[in-house]
């Protein structure tokens, strides 16, 4: 399952939202894709600090999470 998160200046909400998504039991791997719309805040840095891997612009990244 893939979840796409479009962000513009969402640094304050992003960590909790990514943590919320990772805590869900969807019964399969969860791919989180963060798409940054040229944020002026630390949205990109926050996403990277949450484990999102940097990818091709403008798509910041995607990472697959698996709940053990």
7-48, pLDDT tens digit by residue?
999 999 999 999 998 888 888 888 888 888 889 999 989 988
- Predicted TM-score (pTM) of the model is 0.71
Query: Which tokens hold the place of 28?
Result: 């399969």
3 state SS of 39:
coil
Alpha-helical (H) ranges within 1-68 are 14-22, 43-49
CA distance 47 to 41: 12
In the chain, domain spans: 2-65
């Amino acid at each position: 399952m893939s979840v796409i998160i479009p962000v513009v200046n969402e640094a304050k909400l992003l960590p909790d939202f990514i943590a919320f998504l990772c805590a869900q039991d969807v019964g399969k791997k969860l791919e989180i894709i963060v798409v940054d719309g040229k944020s002026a805040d630390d949205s990109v840095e926050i996403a990277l600090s949450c484990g999102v891997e940097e990818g091709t612009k403008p798509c910041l990244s995607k990472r697959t999470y698996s709940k053990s």
